[in-house]
Structure 1
Amino acid sequence: MPRMFLNGTAMSGGADHHLVGDAPLVARTTTAPRYRFHAVEGRYPALEEGGTAAVAGELYELSYAQLREVLLPGEPDGLELGVIELADGSGSLAMILRPGHTAPRTDISDIADWREYRS
C-alpha cells in the first residue's frame, strides 16, 4: 500500500480527517529538513522543496482507491501529488505546492507545524 504524508487538515483531529477513512496511522514524523512550508491564503498548508524546515505530519497507509476516489479529490487546486523525503530518509507521497501557483501565501517554515500555526 502507498504511504501518504499528511500535514494539514486531514491529520487526526482535523476537519478533513474523515477523508483518511480507516487507513492505519504508520507514524507521527517530520519531513527531512529540506522544505519550505507555507500557509496558502491562510486556508491550507503547502510543502515546497528548497528550504531547511522539517515539517511535522502523520504518515498513513492508504489504498490506491482511497487516494484516488476520496483523499485527492478533496485537496485544494494549489496542490499536487508528489514524492517527499521523510526524516528517516525514506520516501512518501505527499501533497506539494503546484509549480507556478501564485495564490498569496505566508512562509511558516519557522513553525513547520500546521496545527501550531493555526492555534
Structure 2
Amino acid sequence: MPRMFLNGTAMSGGADHHLVGGAPLVARTSTAPRYRFHAVGGRYPALEDVGEGGAAVEGEVYDLSYEQLREVLLPGEPDGLELGVIELADGSGSLAMVLRREYPALPELTDISGLASWRAYQERS
C-alpha cells in the first residue's frame, strides 16, 4: 500500500478527513527541513521543495489503498497541487501533494513556513 503524507484538511479532525476513509494512520510526523510551506489563496496548503533552508512541516502519514488514492483522495485535491514524493524527518519517502511546478493561474501564495502547520495557520486566520 502506498504511504501518503497529509498536511491539510484531510488530516484527522479536518473537514476533508472523510477522503481518507478507513485508512490506518501510520505516524504523526514532519517532513525533512527542505520545504517551503504555502497557503494557496488562503484555501489550502502546499509544499515546495527548496532543498536547503526549508522548514520541517507537520503532518500525518496514512497507508492508503491505490483504489482509495486514485478514486477518492486525488480527485478531491485542488488544481494547484500535484502528486509527488517527499522526504520525511526520518529520511524515508512518502507520497504527498506538492505545489504544482507549472500552473498558469495559481492564486496568491502566502509563505507560512514559520508556522510549519496548516492547523496553526488556520488558528491565526
C-alpha deviation, 1:100, in angstroms: 2.5
Q: 1:111 is matched with which residue: 98, 105, 115?
A: 115
Deviating 4+ runs (over 4 angstroms): none
Taking structure 2 as the reference length, what is the TM-score of the superposition? 0.93
C-alpha deviation, 1:59, in angstroms: 0.3
How far apart, in 1, do the equivalents of 2:41 and 2:107 lie? 7
C-alpha deviation, 1:52, in angstroms: 1.5
Q: Could you say what secondary structure the match of 1:118 adopts?
A: helix
Report how many aligned residue pairs link the two structures.
119
Structure 1 residues without counterparts, runs of 5 or longer? none
Q: Which moved more, 1:99-108 or 1:26-35?
A: 99-108
C-alpha deviation, 1:84, in angstroms: 0.1
CA RMSD of aligned residues (A): 0.7
Structure 2 residues without counterparts, runs of 5 or longer? none
- AA matched with 2:101: P
Over the matched positions of the two proteins, sequence identity in percent amounts to 80
Task: Name the structure 1 match of 2:54.
Answer: 52
Taking structure 1 as the reference length, what is the TM-score of the superposition? 0.98
How far apart, in 1, do the equivalents of 2:81 and 2:54 lie? 20
How far apart, in 2, do the equivalents of 1:37 and 1:8 lie? 11
Q: Could you say what secondary structure the match of 2:28 adopts?
A: strand
